[in-house]
Amino acid sequence: MNGAPPQGSLADIRVIEMGQLLAGPFCGQLLGDMGADVIKLEPPGAGDPMRLWGQGDEKVQWEVIARNKRSVTCNLRVPEGQDLARKLIATADVLVENFKPGTLEKWGLSPAELHRDNPGLIIARMSGYGQDGPYSDRAGFGGIGEAMGGWRYIVGEPDRPPARMGISIGDTLCATYGAMGVLAALHHRERTGEGQVVDTALYEAVLQVMEGLVPEYDRNGYIRERSGSILPGIAPSNVYSCTDGPFMIGANKDEIFARLAQAMGQPELASDPRYATHLARGKHQTELDELINEWTGSLTIDEVEQAMIDHSIPAGRVYTAKDMLADPHFRARDAIVEVETERHGKLKMQNAFPKLSRTPSGIRRAAPAEPGQHNDEIYAELLGLDAQARADLAERCII
């Protein structure tokens, strides 16, 4: 893997990634998976806190988010470190950062200053509330963006406080929209030569996936509430209990529900006025779910799955990571790959995505094991610093 030739759509693009934890680094991961040369700036010493994140005894989340990256250390809180960063950014196509708004400006690295040296630079800025507005100077994490963007209020059971997903969805949504903005800005630069700023806020990234939540209130005065495992009025679409575990069925379209009724051995349900139409099923959602649950509760997952396949009904098992690793479809599509990592040996993780037929993305390089692992090659290659200069900077904790 290490030393493999560049591949992917962005193989000629250099990205400088500044910032820590999730939003900025996940944006860098996406661009790196698409072939970009991602140079990550870490603080001297411990490096990015993500190195210590994850569940279980061995912390391996870093191996995913830092793949396809090279690491240099750079103390951004001192003028000499800021000068090093400025010189690196001058060689780049893209800068990704997720500091609190105003931080780059405080360091003398404002977009205006960076564009003087590098007019075509694209600056992807990720923050809690965006670069302007009355809340822009507030600290923000992904969970706060999920709350403000409307996600947290509608997640969970109706009789309990708002819940969360088991992942940091606010951060990764913000990063994904940031990467989308970078791709659009690269296309604009190809036509004009102009760089620009991509401003993504955590709360606005979450807001983008809220479907009809805002116009439903604006037009109807309707406020979506927590509804547990269902979407109100969308039926049947739920997780049902089999004798050996849960199983997901989505049969809310009229024709599909008719096929589900056949699979259940109760074809009359499809013409029953309570269930015959989308609106009727929505009104009788609870009792319909009880009927289906009664049927699945007498069968195994294998039996229900086969019935769904036979009747062409969207349905599937509720997977854990263990299930994914055992599944032949995951294997056939290389959705999960084994990567040789420096810290943990062979490690299975999700592959690069989406799939491109002409310029495939991929994992070309394992995550850097140590902060500053590539100091010598990058500072020599890009800035021309000799061994003595690098040693002097390291002695003074600038790198």
Q: What is the pLDDT of residues 220-229, one digit of tens each?
A: 999 999 999 9
Q: What angle do CA 60, 63, 68 make, to 5 degrees?
A: 175
Alpha helices, DSSP H, located in 34-168? 61-65, 79-90, 103-106, 111-117, 142-148, 151-154
Of 322, 347, 377, the residue at which a domain comes to its end is 322
Provide the 10 A C-beta neighbour count for residue 2.
8
Number of folded domains that form the chain: 2
Q: Per the structure block, which two tokens stand in for 333?
A: 């599509």
Q: Do 130 and 37 fall within a single domain?
A: yes
The candidate with the shortest Cα–Cα distance to 204, out of 173, 235, 181, is: 173
The candidate with the shortest Cα–Cα distance to 39, out of 80, 73, 79, 82, is: 73
Cβ distance 380 to 390 under 8 Å?
yes
Domain membership flag for residue 203: yes
In angstroms, the Cα distances linking 214 to 174, 200, 209, 217 are 19, 20, 11, 5
Of 322, 352, 383, the residue at which a domain comes to its end is 322
Domain membership flag for residue 289: yes
Mean pLDDT of the chain: 95
Confidence of residue 1 (pLDDT cuts 50, 70, 90): very low
Bridge partner list, 93 = none
pLDDT value of position 19: 87
Q: Is the pTM of this model over 0.75?
A: yes
CATH code assigned at 249: 3.30.1540.10
Active site (catalytic) residues = 171
The candidate with the shortest Cα–Cα distance to 349, out of 328, 361, 335, is: 335
CATH code assigned at 49: 3.40.50.10540
Q: Do 84 and 148 fall within a single domain?
A: yes
Domain membership flag for residue 141: yes
88-117 pLDDT, tens digit per residue, is: 999 999 999 999 999 999 999 999 999 999
CB-based contacts of 176: which residues, under 8 Å, 6+ apart?
26, 27, 30, 205
Of 322, 339, 358, the residue at which a domain comes to its end is 322
pLDDT tops 60 at residue 363: yes
Q: Do 35 and 127 fall within a single domain?
A: yes
Q: What angle do CA 68, 126, 355 make, to 5 degrees?
A: 40
320-351 pLDDT, tens digit per residue, is: 999 999 999 999 999 999 999 999 999 999 99
Q: Whole domain around residue 278: which residue ranges?
A: 237-322
What's the DSSP call for residue 366? P
Q: Do 171 and 121 fall within a single domain?
A: yes
